[in-house]
């Protein structure tokens, strides 16, 4: 609507403590104002005194002030606003700088089904924050440093060398991890190999560089399929020198201390958090130090309003430790937020490359194309939507049939709604329609109200970092549009006013479906 909820609140001169909400479907009202700290009678009198033509009736039910709007005026404002705003209907102008770290795969390993959830959530939030008028900088913090690379290089030296392929590197990774579980001597040999790498062994660095370059090349191929790109590719290795300085800073400020065995530890027990190690006794660093250094650099370099870390929920405690340590070091940790998500499981078990139990992302892409006869827009759209249509905190059990569902609450269902709407508009051509915007049926007003909801849906999705709100909204919109399509003729309408109104409704639906899918990282087809 012309009045987004924020604008309408200002128009009504409501106190900051009050919110305007869209009530549940069973409530016979268009908007609701909860008045738990204010006198609803007083608020109602105030609104009535403004004599706004949009507000037709005011009802008080308990502690709620419910507003009934003038349907025709609402339709006129909403439909004209969509027509005028086009692709940017529902957008805002927050004007903030947001950093989003997501994806962050480990080199020398193929991305698996668990990365799918990370990638599509991060990509969608990137689009949502941009739609809210923010400057977004995306970061791929690839895992390219640590003891695991000591293991991989050692495996390469022992059982290779082989041609550098993702498959060969993965097989070596699984093999060395299985062997080190049983062989403690081999485990120590791997740790020693990483220590040498960290100290700049030229031979080992050359092998590591080859692994990294190959992996990044393969990652970019996968990202391209999903339309994903990053502003910054800065892996853990980029912060190695800065991490060493950060550890010294932590010791100097009394935040960390050196233990008798030489390990450097941050004691967080008085904050009801476990202590954790920044540097091991053998002098090798851990990713905690590199993450601290990365956060410091981002805060100082970009001066962002917020930094989002899209990382699984199993790292929740770790991020609490990192954020608290940054705070103790004197940096503004309030700007850092861990946006977590639940596991993707296979047969009820967590996907794991280390254990050799997973489904690779490239397999998902290939299977989606096979099942949709090489229709990438439909196949990948189904995969992305299935993942994003669920709350972040809800676990997902990987199932081919479900993830590539082409019916019901799915991307193809929504995409078909878009194609249907575009077909009507194409048949209408440039036909000029006269008359007023007049709402006659309940299906028309329900669609108009849904269209009016869209700006608030984007706002809530950004506020809660929940793309599923947009996915579910689009499904509701298409369901309502299909009812309208079946009962309210557009091109065969019996008056110019009816045709004009319904064509504007169809145009609004098409635009919002397309724009909403873009926010999810999904394309719209020309035909189905």
pLDDT tens by residue, 401-415 = 777 777 788 999 999
* Domain membership flag for residue 245: no
Q: Which of 403, 419, 448 is the last residue of a domain?
A: 403
* Domain membership flag for residue 388: yes
480 shares its domain with 516: yes
Q: Is the pLDDT of residue 351 over 70?
A: no
417 shares its domain with 505: yes
Q: Tell me which H or E stretch contains 78.
A: helix 71-85
Q: How confident is the model at residue 353 (pLDDT cuts 50, 70, 90)?
A: low
86 shares its domain with 58: no
Range of the domain at 382: 346-403
Q: Cα–Cα–Cα angle for 129, 461, 316, nearest 5°?
A: 90
* Domain membership flag for residue 16: yes
Specify which residues 136 forms β-bridges with: 98
Q: By CB neighbour count within 10 A (0-12 exposed, 13-18 middle, 19+ buried), where does 378 fall?
A: buried
pTM of the model: 0.92
435 shares its domain with 488: yes
Considering its fold, how many domains does the chain have in total? 3
* Domain membership flag for residue 370: yes
Average of per-residue pLDDT across 502-512: 97
Q: Cα–Cα–Cα angle for 100, 326, 319, nearest 5°?
A: 55
* Domain membership flag for residue 356: yes
Structural tokens at position 110:
């193929």
* Domain membership flag for residue 508: yes
Are 269 and 275 contacting, i.e. CB atoms less than 8 angstroms apart? yes
469 shares its domain with 386: no
353 shares its domain with 434: no
**How many other β-carbons are positioned within 10 Å of the β-carbon of residue 261?**
8
* Domain membership flag for residue 387: yes
What is the tens place of the pLDDT at every residue in 32-59? 999 998 999 999 999 999 999 999 999 9
Q: For residue 171, give every residue at least 6 positions away whose Cβ sits within 8 Å of its Cβ, in sequence order, or none.
A: none
410 shares its domain with 397: no
The pLDDT of residue 398 is: 77
Q: How confident is the model at residue 355 (pLDDT cuts 50, 70, 90)?
A: low
Q: Which of 358, 386, 403 is the last residue of a domain?
A: 403
Q: How confident is the model at residue 7 (pLDDT cuts 50, 70, 90)?
A: confident
Q: What is the mean pLDDT of the chain?
A: 91
* Domain membership flag for residue 165: no
* CA distances from residue 393 to 347, 383, 388, 468 in whole angstroms, order as listed: 19, 18, 11, 11
What is the tens place of the pLDDT at every residue in 113-123? 889 999 999 99
What is the tens place of the pLDDT at every residue in 188-226? 999 899 989 988 999 999 999 999 999 999 999 999 999
364 shares its domain with 388: yes
Average of per-residue pLDDT across 299-323: 97
Give the separation between CA 16 and CA 371, rounded to whole angstroms: 52
Q: Is the pLDDT of residue 294 over 90?
A: yes
Q: How confident is the model at residue 354 (pLDDT cuts 50, 70, 90)?
A: low
382 shares its domain with 465: no
């Amino acid at each position: 609507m012309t009045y987004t909820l924020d604008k309408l609140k200002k128009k009504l001169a409501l106190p900051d403590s009050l919110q305007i909400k869209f009530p549940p479907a069973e409530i016979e009202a268009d908007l609701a104002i909860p008045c738990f700290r204010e006198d609803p009678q007083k608020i109602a009198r105030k609104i009535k005194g403004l004599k706004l033509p949009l507000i037709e009736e005011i009802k008080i039910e308990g502690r709620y002030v419910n507003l009934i709007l003038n349907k025709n005026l609402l339709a006129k404002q909403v439909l004209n606003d969509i027509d005028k705003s086009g692709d940017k209907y529902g957008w805002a102008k927050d004007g903030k700088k947001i950093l989003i770290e997501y994806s962050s795969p480990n080199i020398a390993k193929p991305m698996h089904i668990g990365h799918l959830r990370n990638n599509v959530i991060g990509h969608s939030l990137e689009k949502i924050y941009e739609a809210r008028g923010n400057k977004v900088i995306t970061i791929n913090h690839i895992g390219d440093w640590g003891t695991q690379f000591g293991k991989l290089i050692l495996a390469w030296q022992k059982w290779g060398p082989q041609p550098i392929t993702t498959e060969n590197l993965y097989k070596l990774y699984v093999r060395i991890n299985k062997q080190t579980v049983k062989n403690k001597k081999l485990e120590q040999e791997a740790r020693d190999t990483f220590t040498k790498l960290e100290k700049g062994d030229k031979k080992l660095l050359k092998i590591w560089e080859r692994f990294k370059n190959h992996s990044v090349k393969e990652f970019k191929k996968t990202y391209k399929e999903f339309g994903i790109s990053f502003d910054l590719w800065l892996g853990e290795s980029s912060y190695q020198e800065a991490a060493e300085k950060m550890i010294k800073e932590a010791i100097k400020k009394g935040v960390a201390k050196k233990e008798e065995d030489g390990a450097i530890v941050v004691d967080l027990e008085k904050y009801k958090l476990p202590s954790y190690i920044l540097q091991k006794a053998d002098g090798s660093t851990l990713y905690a130090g590199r993450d601290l250094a990365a956060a410091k650099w981002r805060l100082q370099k970009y001066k962002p309003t917020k930094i989002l870390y899209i990382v699984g929920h199993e790292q929740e405690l770790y991020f609490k430790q990192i954020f608290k340590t940054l705070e103790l070091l004197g940096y503004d940790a309030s700007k850092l937020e861990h946006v977590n998500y639940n596991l993707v499981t296979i047969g009820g078990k967590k996907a794991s490359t280390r254990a050799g139990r997973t489904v690779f992302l490239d397999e998902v892409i290939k299977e989606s194309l096979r099942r949709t006869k090489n229709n990438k827009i439909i196949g990948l759209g189904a995969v992305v939507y299935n993942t994003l249509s669920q709350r972040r905190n809800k676990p997902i059990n990987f199932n081919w049939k479900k993830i590539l569902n082409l019916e019901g609450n799915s991307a193809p269902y929504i995409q078909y709604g878009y194609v249907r709407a575009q077909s009507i508009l194409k048949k209408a051509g440039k036909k000029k329609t006269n008359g007023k915007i007049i709402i006659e049926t309940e299906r028309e007003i329900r669609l108009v109200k849904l269209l009016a909801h869209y700006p608030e849906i984007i706002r809530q999705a950004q506020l809660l970092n929940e793309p599923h709100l947009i996915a579910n909204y689009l499904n509701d919109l298409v369901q309502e549009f299909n009812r309208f399509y079946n009962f309210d003729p557009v091109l065969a309408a019996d008056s110019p006013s009816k045709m004009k109104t319904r064509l504007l409704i169809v145009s609004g639906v098409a635009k919002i479906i397309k724009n909403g899918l873009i926010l999810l990282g999904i394309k719209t087809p020309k035909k189905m």
